[in-house]
Amino acid sequence: MAWKDRNAFSFGRLLDSFSYAIQGLRHAVRTERNFQIHLTAALIVSMCGFAFRLNRMEWVFILICIFGMIALELLNSAIEKTVDLVTDEIKPLAKQAKDMAAGAVMIYAIMTVVIGLIIFIPKVFELFQ
């Protein structure tokens, strides 16, 4: 049965939604360089978090940063692909849309670095005391 034919609240549609989301994540992991960079950074930060024995509140901020960054990078990639789908020509509005989406990722990335520094710098200094 096609997904359009299913009841709006059916379990099958719910499973389809999860399946599509997983397909999108797999595609991003395989093909999106910046997504791969963010996943690598998330793994490194997580390992550091365990090594430095972060407390619950610190983990909350780290997890918000990690999952927010991953979600925003997925949105950025989706915007870029949508713009590319709409036009093959170089158009100022298409460029602006892609640049602004990339800018949003950059702003969030800067915030995550600042939060990471706030959490980890005191812990690194404790090692040398």
pLDDT for position 6: 53
Helices (H), 52-91: 56-86
- The three-state secondary structure class of 97 is helix
Per annotation, catalytic residue among 73, 80, 89, 126? 73
* pTM score of the predicted model: 0.86
pLDDT for position 5: 55
pLDDT for position 2: 52
If you ran DSSP here, which 8-state letter would residue 53 be given?
Answer: T
CATH-assigned architecture of domain 34-127: Orthogonal Bundle (1.10)
Q: Are 70 and 42 in contact (CB under 8 A)?
A: yes
At position 74, the amino acid (one-letter code) is L
> Is 73 tagged catalytic?
yes
Q: Where are the domains of the chain?
A: 34-127
Nearest in space to 37 (alpha carbons), one of 92, 79, 76:
76
